[in-house]
Amino acid sequence: MPAKRLIFLGPPGSGKGTQAQRLAEQRGLVQLSSGDVLRRERQEGSPIGKQAARYMDAGTLVPDDVITGVMLAAVGRLPAGTGFILDGFPRTVPQAEALDRGLRDLALDIDAVVDFKLDDDEIIRRIEGRRVCTSCATTYNVSFLPPKEDGRCDKCGGELFQRPDDRREVIVTRLATYRAQTAPLIEYYSRRGRFHTVDSASGADAVQAAVARIVEAAGRG
Protein backbone atom coordinates (compact mmCIF):
# COMPACT_ATOMS: atom_id res chain seq x y z
CA MET A 1 0.00 0.00 0.00
CA PRO A 2 1.33 3.48 -0.87
CA ALA A 3 2.26 5.62 2.13
CA LYS A 4 -0.72 7.54 3.48
CA ARG A 5 -0.80 11.12 4.74
CA LEU A 6 -3.55 11.58 7.30
CA ILE A 7 -5.02 14.09 9.74
CA PHE A 8 -6.65 12.90 12.98
CA LEU A 9 -9.01 15.44 14.55
CA GLY A 10 -10.93 15.24 17.81
CA PRO A 11 -11.06 16.79 21.28
CA PRO A 12 -8.46 15.87 23.88
CA GLY A 13 -9.23 12.45 25.35
CA SER A 14 -11.18 11.24 22.31
CA GLY A 15 -8.70 8.45 21.62
CA LYS A 16 -7.14 9.88 18.47
CA GLY A 17 -3.62 9.63 19.90
CA THR A 18 -4.02 5.96 20.78
CA GLN A 19 -5.41 5.18 17.34
CA ALA A 20 -2.65 7.17 15.66
CA GLN A 21 -0.04 5.17 17.56
CA ARG A 22 -1.66 1.86 16.61
CA LEU A 23 -1.96 2.80 12.96
CA ALA A 24 1.58 4.14 12.80
CA GLU A 25 2.96 0.86 14.18
CA GLN A 26 0.87 -1.27 11.81
CA ARG A 27 1.45 0.72 8.64
CA GLY A 28 4.94 2.08 9.16
CA LEU A 29 3.71 5.67 9.37
CA VAL A 30 5.17 8.49 11.45
CA GLN A 31 2.89 9.87 14.18
CA LEU A 32 3.37 13.63 14.52
CA SER A 33 1.49 14.63 17.67
CA SER A 34 1.26 18.37 18.17
CA GLY A 35 1.24 17.90 21.94
CA ASP A 36 4.34 15.69 21.94
CA VAL A 37 6.22 18.01 19.59
CA LEU A 38 5.44 21.04 21.74
CA ARG A 39 6.24 19.24 25.00
CA ARG A 40 9.60 18.18 23.57
CA GLU A 41 10.37 21.76 22.65
CA ARG A 42 9.34 22.83 26.15
CA GLN A 43 11.49 20.22 27.87
CA GLU A 44 14.49 21.22 25.76
CA GLY A 45 13.96 24.85 26.79
CA SER A 46 13.84 26.14 23.24
CA PRO A 47 12.45 29.67 22.67
CA ILE A 48 9.34 28.28 20.99
CA GLY A 49 8.90 25.81 23.85
CA LYS A 50 9.01 28.57 26.44
CA GLN A 51 6.54 30.58 24.38
CA ALA A 52 4.14 27.65 24.18
CA ALA A 53 4.40 26.73 27.89
CA ARG A 54 2.19 29.51 29.21
CA TYR A 55 -0.63 28.56 26.84
CA MET A 56 -0.33 24.83 27.59
CA ASP A 57 -0.44 25.38 31.36
CA ALA A 58 -3.55 27.53 31.04
CA GLY A 59 -5.29 24.96 28.85
CA THR A 60 -5.65 27.34 25.90
CA LEU A 61 -4.59 26.65 22.32
CA VAL A 62 -1.07 27.52 21.25
CA PRO A 63 -1.13 30.40 18.69
CA ASP A 64 -1.41 29.43 15.05
CA ASP A 65 1.98 30.74 13.94
CA VAL A 66 3.82 28.83 16.69
CA ILE A 67 2.27 25.40 16.18
CA THR A 68 2.10 25.64 12.38
CA GLY A 69 5.80 26.40 12.08
CA VAL A 70 6.70 23.50 14.37
CA MET A 71 4.52 20.95 12.56
CA LEU A 72 5.52 21.92 9.03
CA ALA A 73 9.17 21.69 10.04
CA ALA A 74 8.52 18.19 11.41
CA VAL A 75 6.88 17.11 8.13
CA GLY A 76 9.70 18.64 6.12
CA ARG A 77 12.30 16.59 8.00
CA LEU A 78 10.69 13.26 7.05
CA PRO A 79 12.43 11.14 4.39
CA ALA A 80 10.85 11.33 0.93
CA GLY A 81 7.89 8.99 0.52
CA THR A 82 7.22 8.64 4.26
CA GLY A 83 3.60 8.44 5.32
CA PHE A 84 2.49 10.34 8.40
CA ILE A 85 -0.40 11.08 10.75
CA LEU A 86 -0.89 14.63 11.97
CA ASP A 87 -2.32 13.99 15.44
CA GLY A 88 -4.11 17.02 16.92
CA PHE A 89 -3.09 19.41 14.16
CA PRO A 90 -4.44 21.55 12.60
CA ARG A 91 -6.92 22.92 15.17
CA THR A 92 -8.10 26.10 13.45
CA VAL A 93 -8.94 27.11 9.89
CA PRO A 94 -5.90 29.45 9.65
CA GLN A 95 -3.71 26.52 10.68
CA ALA A 96 -5.36 24.33 8.04
CA GLU A 97 -4.85 26.96 5.37
CA ALA A 98 -1.20 27.39 6.34
CA LEU A 99 -0.77 23.61 6.33
CA ASP A 100 -2.23 23.39 2.83
CA ARG A 101 0.23 26.01 1.60
CA GLY A 102 3.16 24.33 3.31
CA LEU A 103 2.28 20.91 1.94
CA ARG A 104 1.94 22.31 -1.57
CA ASP A 105 5.47 23.68 -1.25
CA LEU A 106 6.58 20.14 -0.38
CA ALA A 107 4.52 18.65 -3.26
CA LEU A 108 2.37 16.73 -0.76
CA ASP A 109 -1.37 16.35 -0.11
CA ILE A 110 -3.58 14.84 2.60
CA ASP A 111 -5.30 11.54 1.76
CA ALA A 112 -7.91 11.53 4.53
CA VAL A 113 -9.12 13.50 7.56
CA VAL A 114 -10.62 11.46 10.42
CA ASP A 115 -12.65 13.15 13.18
CA PHE A 116 -13.03 11.22 16.47
CA LYS A 117 -16.33 11.98 18.25
CA LEU A 118 -16.90 11.63 22.02
CA ASP A 119 -19.11 13.44 24.55
CA ASP A 120 -17.56 15.78 27.11
CA ASP A 121 -18.43 13.79 30.26
CA GLU A 122 -16.57 10.75 29.00
CA ILE A 123 -13.66 12.90 27.84
CA ILE A 124 -13.27 14.43 31.31
CA ARG A 125 -13.37 10.98 32.93
CA ARG A 126 -10.70 9.67 30.58
CA ILE A 127 -8.30 12.60 30.83
CA GLU A 128 -8.60 13.14 34.58
CA GLY A 129 -7.54 9.55 35.18
CA ARG A 130 -4.54 9.66 32.85
CA ARG A 131 -1.06 9.09 34.32
CA VAL A 132 2.24 9.21 32.44
CA CYS A 133 5.60 7.63 33.30
CA THR A 134 8.33 10.17 34.04
CA SER A 135 10.98 7.88 32.51
CA CYS A 136 9.55 6.19 29.39
CA ALA A 137 6.34 8.22 28.81
CA THR A 138 4.09 5.13 28.87
CA THR A 139 0.50 6.20 29.52
CA TYR A 140 -1.94 4.59 31.98
CA ASN A 141 -5.41 5.38 33.26
CA VAL A 142 -6.51 4.86 36.85
CA SER A 143 -10.05 3.98 35.71
CA PHE A 144 -9.57 1.48 32.89
CA LEU A 145 -5.83 0.92 32.33
CA PRO A 146 -4.17 1.05 35.77
CA PRO A 147 -0.56 0.01 36.42
CA LYS A 148 0.06 -3.20 38.36
CA GLU A 149 1.64 -1.19 41.19
CA ASP A 150 -0.03 2.08 42.12
CA GLY A 151 2.05 5.03 40.93
CA ARG A 152 4.71 2.91 39.19
CA CYS A 153 5.24 2.07 35.52
CA ASP A 154 4.90 -1.60 34.58
CA LYS A 155 7.62 -1.32 31.93
CA CYS A 156 10.44 0.52 33.71
CA GLY A 157 9.33 1.14 37.28
CA GLY A 158 9.35 4.88 36.76
CA GLU A 159 7.11 7.19 38.77
CA LEU A 160 3.73 8.05 37.27
CA PHE A 161 2.42 11.61 37.31
CA GLN A 162 -0.59 13.63 36.22
CA ARG A 163 0.25 16.27 33.66
CA PRO A 164 -0.73 19.83 34.67
CA ASP A 165 -3.09 20.08 31.69
CA ASP A 166 -4.92 16.90 32.77
CA ARG A 167 -6.53 18.51 35.83
CA ARG A 168 -10.34 18.83 35.70
CA GLU A 169 -10.45 22.65 35.66
CA VAL A 170 -7.95 22.75 32.80
CA ILE A 171 -9.79 20.01 30.90
CA VAL A 172 -13.03 22.00 30.98
CA THR A 173 -11.23 25.04 29.60
CA ARG A 174 -9.51 22.97 26.92
CA LEU A 175 -12.80 21.47 25.77
CA ALA A 176 -14.59 24.82 25.62
CA THR A 177 -11.69 26.27 23.65
CA TYR A 178 -11.61 23.27 21.35
CA ARG A 179 -15.34 23.38 20.60
CA ALA A 180 -15.28 27.12 19.87
CA GLN A 181 -12.17 27.27 17.72
CA THR A 182 -12.22 23.89 15.99
CA ALA A 183 -15.88 23.66 14.92
CA PRO A 184 -15.21 25.77 11.78
CA LEU A 185 -12.36 23.39 10.92
CA ILE A 186 -14.84 20.52 10.59
CA GLU A 187 -16.78 22.55 8.04
CA TYR A 188 -13.55 23.43 6.23
CA TYR A 189 -12.56 19.80 5.69
CA SER A 190 -16.12 18.63 5.06
CA ARG A 191 -16.32 20.98 2.06
CA ARG A 192 -13.03 19.69 0.69
CA GLY A 193 -13.96 16.00 0.80
CA ARG A 194 -11.93 13.10 2.20
CA PHE A 195 -13.50 13.81 5.60
CA HIS A 196 -14.66 10.92 7.83
CA THR A 197 -16.17 10.61 11.32
CA VAL A 198 -15.53 7.79 13.81
CA ASP A 199 -17.50 7.15 17.02
CA SER A 200 -14.90 6.91 19.79
CA ALA A 201 -17.41 5.68 22.35
CA SER A 202 -17.12 2.15 20.97
CA GLY A 203 -14.23 -0.07 22.08
CA ALA A 204 -10.69 0.65 20.97
CA ASP A 205 -10.63 -2.38 18.66
CA ALA A 206 -13.88 -1.35 16.96
CA VAL A 207 -12.54 2.17 16.47
CA GLN A 208 -9.32 0.73 15.08
CA ALA A 209 -11.25 -1.37 12.56
CA ALA A 210 -13.26 1.66 11.43
CA VAL A 211 -10.08 3.69 10.98
CA ALA A 212 -8.47 0.86 9.02
CA ARG A 213 -11.38 0.82 6.57
CA ILE A 214 -11.02 4.55 6.01
CA VAL A 215 -7.29 4.29 5.44
CA GLU A 216 -7.67 1.40 3.01
CA ALA A 217 -10.00 3.49 0.86
CA ALA A 218 -8.07 6.76 1.23
CA GLY A 219 -6.68 8.29 -1.93
CA ARG A 220 -8.67 6.09 -4.31
CA GLY A 221 -10.41 7.60 -7.25
pLDDT for 6 equals 97
- CATH number for the domain that contains residue 112: 3.40.50.300
- Are the C-beta atoms of 102 and 78 separated by less than 8 Å? no
Query: Does the pLDDT of residue 48 top 50, yes or no?
Result: yes
Tens of pLDDT, residues 161-185: 999 889 999 999 989 988 888 889 9
Distance CA 64, CA 47 (A): 16
Label residue 47 by pLDDT band (50, 70, 90): confident
pLDDT for 46 equals 76
pLDDT for 1 equals 57
Q: Which of 14-28, 34-48, 135-149, 203-217 has the lowest mean pLDDT?
A: 34-48
pLDDT for 221 equals 46
Query: Does the pLDDT of residue 199 top 60, yes or no?
Result: yes
Q: 195: helix, coil or strand?
A: strand
Q: Which of 16, 39, 126, 194 is catalytic?
A: 16
Residue 112 lies in a domain: yes
- Are the C-beta atoms of 109 and 30 separated by less than 8 Å? no
Distance CA 43, CA 98 (A): 26
Residue 103 lies in a domain: yes
Tens of pLDDT, residues 81-127: 999 999 989 988 999 999 999 999 999 999 999 999 999 999 999 89
Q: Which of 4, 39, 91, 131 is catalytic?
A: 91
pLDDT for 219 equals 65
Residue 58 lies in a domain: yes
Residue 63 lies in a domain: yes
Domains of the chain: total: 1
Query: Does the pLDDT of residue 132 top 50, yes or no?
Result: yes
pLDDT for 220 equals 56
Residue 96 lies in a domain: yes
* Angle at 118 (CA atoms; ends 88, 147), nearest 5 degrees: 80
Q: Which of 27, 117, 152, 163 is catalytic?
A: 163
Residue 162 lies in a domain: no
Q: Any catalytic annotation for residue 220?
A: no
More confident residue, 65 or 23: 23
Residue 133 lies in a domain: no
Query: Does the pLDDT of residue 35 top 70, yes or no?
Result: yes
Nearest to 132 by CA among 110, 151, 109: 151
Tens of pLDDT, residues 133-170: 999 988 898 987 899 999 999 999 999 999 988 999 99
Q: Any catalytic annotation for residue 40?
A: no
Q: Which of 4, 39, 126, 130 is catalytic?
A: 130
Domain residue limits at 61: 5-118+182-217
Q: Which of 4, 126, 131, 174 is catalytic?
A: 174
Residue 160 lies in a domain: no
Query: Does the pLDDT of residue 193 top 60, yes or no?
Result: yes
Q: Any catalytic annotation for residue 91?
A: yes
